[in-house]
Chain A
Amino acid sequence: MTETLHPLLEIRGLRKQFGTVEVLKGVDLALNKREVVSIIGSSGSGKTTLLRCVNLLEEFQGGDIVLDGETIGYRISKGRRYRIRDRDLSRQRSMTGMVFQSFNLFPHLTAAGNVMLGLRKVRRLGRDEARAIAEAWLGRVGLAQRGDHYPSQLSGGQQQRVAIARALAMDPKLVLLDEVTSALDPELVQEVLNTVKSIADDGATLLIVTHEMRFARDVSNRVVFMEQGQIVEDGPPAEIFGNPRSQRLAEFLRNTRT
Chain B
Amino acid sequence: MQVFLDQVWTARWPLWDGFLLTIEIAAAAIACGTVLGCIVGIQLVFAPTLVRFPFRVYVDVMRGTPLLVLILAAFYIPSVAGLNLSATQAGILALTLFAGAHIGELLRGSLQAIPPGQAEAARSIGLTFPQMLAYVLLPQALRSALPPWINTGVELIKGSSLLSMIGVGELLLKTQEVIGRTFMTIEFYVFAGCLYLITNILLDQVGKTVERYAGGRS
- Asked if A and B form a direct contact in the complex, defined as CB atoms under 8 angstroms apart, the reply is no
